[in-house]
Amino acid sequence: MALQLPERASYEFLKKLAKDRLAILRGRNGAAQLADAQLAIAREYGFASWRDLKREVDRRRAPYVTDFMRACSTGDLGAIGDLLTKDPALARARLANGTTGLHAAVRHPAAVRLLIEHGADPNVRDLGDNATPLHFAAASGAIESVRALLGAGADVHGDGDLHDGGVIGWASRKGNEAVIDLLLEHGARHHIFSAMALGDRDLVQTIVEEDPEALFRRRSRFENRQTVVHAAFAPPDGLGFLAGAPDYGMLELLLALGADADAVDDKERRPLDVALLRGDRRAIDLLRDAGASESPERKDRTHSAVANTASAVESVRRLSPMLAVANIRETIAWYRAIGFTVHDEYEDSGQVVFARVTLGKGELTLGAGPNPVPRGVSLWFYTDRVEDLYVVLRERQRSSPDGVHVRFDEDLYTPFYGGRQFSIRDVNDVPLVFYQPGWAVPAGGRP
């Protein structure tokens, strides 16, 4: 009869059991391997293979891992402590993307310290960015978490992350000087891109004087393998919402120091190509004054663009507006609370940078950015059940246990152009209009 696998089986315990069994097997057969011991243990519990046994353990633990990560991300010390008491292995558990509790907890120093006390590894790397908790803590400006991680032996350099910036690169932004100073006290050293991120021209000059090769350093493949010249005035493709204003003073300095004004990025674009593409007159003038040139003309791949216009236009299947908001976490929470479904929520360097939200077939994307949503923008949601949606959203005014309220801009009414509509405003003051076509305008054109 097979042994009964405990409801909250510990994979760490099973691995220890397999190692103990291996010692016994080798006493009988010196050629025995760990796989033999694992298979024996799996079959004792009624599974055909060790992989099947592990899959079942993971399935049973998944809800507890999810609860644990949620507690870590919110800094819920009571929940973290209770879950660790029941399953100490959670301190090193991972989500599918490699995130550990320590990665999730970096904004909550007390939680970081508690996890370290229970054996969490301060140098564990996630899978998405190959980054340690210290990378994320430094990027988010959580100085007490940074202090706790360094005290626990976290590598202050953190070389090898996929963005090639090291911990100092993740930390380097204006306003985060206290964290940067703490890292430097523990042995971190600036590189040219971290100095550029701070806009510190004296530091850039010092770095180049100490190591002239610094001028030829490149950013990672995720940042188009940009040279220092590209990076001084243009954000990498797809990351413009994270970039600050072009630093023309830095560009002038780099060119004066001898940076290559014609070195290409991973798309074979010279800096002047990028400046022309962006219509950046100041960068164009500076680059041309430094002798920069455009790339040779590439072969025209468009062929007869006019003939292809119709098919190109027809290829557009969907429009999804993207709103840049100052507090994206708060905005996501608001949309989720009123009934939207959140998809593709993505974090970079410990910061949520965008998420797609849907309501039925309506969709919009939220992005992090310092610029407020432009005035005059409103989002229209077309529905055939406008009154039902009205009732659902009005109910949140009466009952809002999570503290998220709905602010109505227009009550339900029949506009002069027909149909039926009402509107609310989100936490960024953006109007959301819910409209049902097909209602007749009453006589006299009034609701």
Residue among 125, 186, 113, 184 at smallest CA distance from 152:
113
Domains, the chain: 190-295 (1.25.40.20), 322-445 (3.10.180.10)
Dist. CA 309–CA 422, nearest whole Å: 38
Residue 356 has pLDDT above 60, yes or no: yes
pLDDT band at residue 61 using 50, 70 and 90 as cut-offs = low
Dist. CA 201–CA 47, nearest whole Å: 63
Residue 281: predicted pLDDT: 92
Residue 424: predicted pLDDT: 87
The amino acid at 401: P
Residue 32: predicted pLDDT: 87
**Residue 110 vs residues 123, 142, 148, 234, 351: alpha-carbon distances, Å:** 18, 11, 9, 39, 20
pLDDT band at residue 298 using 50, 70 and 90 as cut-offs = very low
pLDDT digits (tens, 9 = 90+) for 3-42: 787 766 666 778 888 888 888 888 888 888 999 888 888 8
Residue 302 has pLDDT above 50, yes or no: no
Which residues, in sequence order, are bridge partners of residue 347? Answer: 352
Residue 9: predicted pLDDT: 67
Alpha helices in 258-327 (DSSP H): 271-278, 281-289, 305-314
Dist. CA 343–CA 8, nearest whole Å: 30
Q: Do 319 and 382 touch, CB atoms closer than 8 A?
A: no
Please state, for a pLDDT cut of 70, what percent of the chain lies above it.
86
pLDDT band at residue 1 using 50, 70 and 90 as cut-offs = low
Residue among 116, 189, 177, 102 at smallest CA distance from 141:
177
Backbone angles phi, psi at 2, to 5 degrees: -70, 145
pLDDT digits (tens, 9 = 90+) for 249-293: 999 999 999 999 999 998 888 999 888 888 889 999 999 999 999
Q: What angle do CA 197, 128, 216 make, to 5 degrees?
A: 40
Question: Residues 81-102: what's their mean pLDDT?
Answer: 88
Beta strands 379-382 and 431-436, pairing class: parallel
Question: Residues 353-361: what's their mean pLDDT?
Answer: 89
Question: Residues 214-235: what's their mean pLDDT?
Answer: 94
